[in-house]
Structure 1
Amino acid sequence: MFKFLRNLISLINSSFNSSRLDELIDIIIELRDSGNEVSVQIDGDSATYTCTVDGFNAKHHVLVISNMRPSMQMNSLQKGKGMRVRAGKHGKIINFECSYLEPLIENQNTALQLKMERQSKVASCATTFNFIPAGIHNENSTLNKQATERLH
């Protein structure tokens, strides 16, 4: 617990760079394991979408979210559209600045492929996160193969 809080405070108080990726992954895994929710906001949309963190693949940086409330209008999303993911843990708030890349679709389930933005002048790796609504958990699915191919 102390390590998690230390990592969270360090992440909030410092600029994001590639060395912070491990800390960010630890926080996302903690959110997944505790069943906490995250919220998603899209530039130009006044709604805040609440989601449950359902799964996370650290190797491919795939985050699975479920129970998106209210339903998102997919036709309003365009490549490069800014998005913010906000997570709260132990009274602290962390925000991920992202931009929308493209959808990945399988059996009427849609994944939103987002690119995490650089948070500072420090050079950081281009990290891709996929935020995937519920129902896509099979590692052998076409969607997961598409996401994996795009990440390599």
Structure 2
Amino acid sequence: MTIAIDQKMSEIDTITTENGAEITVCQEHQWELCYKCCMDFTEMNQEAISDANKKKALRSTRWETHSTPGQLRVGTEVRMPDRSGRKPPTPLDGKIVGVMEETDQDSDYCGDTCYVIKLVNNEMMTYPVDWVHDEWLVKLDGKYIPTSKVLALFSQ
């Protein structure tokens, strides 16, 4: 008995979503998850969607005046200390460039309000606001001091 299988190769395409992410889809149906073509680009597209959400947060955040009570201002220089024991330590240095709700379902912070932080190597990352306040340092007058102390100073 011989079974004939249609081995037509499906083509891929890219489209731009409403939030500005360029994602990969099947060309014929323009679907990210296409059962007809047996293609699934959802996991591959997560990074593009996450990056677009970060850029959208940057555009919607007013650079100079953003200051929600209890949050650091956009433009604040921050540092995550390196507690790994490495010699020499390599902290993460960056600048807060926005605030957003993390929507990346693969992120540990999905659903959390996060600072968007542009690191010195120009990479963008999100980190929960409360965790930055607990774990990170803020550059003030050339020195890094605990964020909680900075917030206490400016809330008085």
TM-score normalised according to structure 2 size? 0.26
Structure with the larger helix share? 1
**Rg larger for:** 2
Structure with the larger strand share? 1
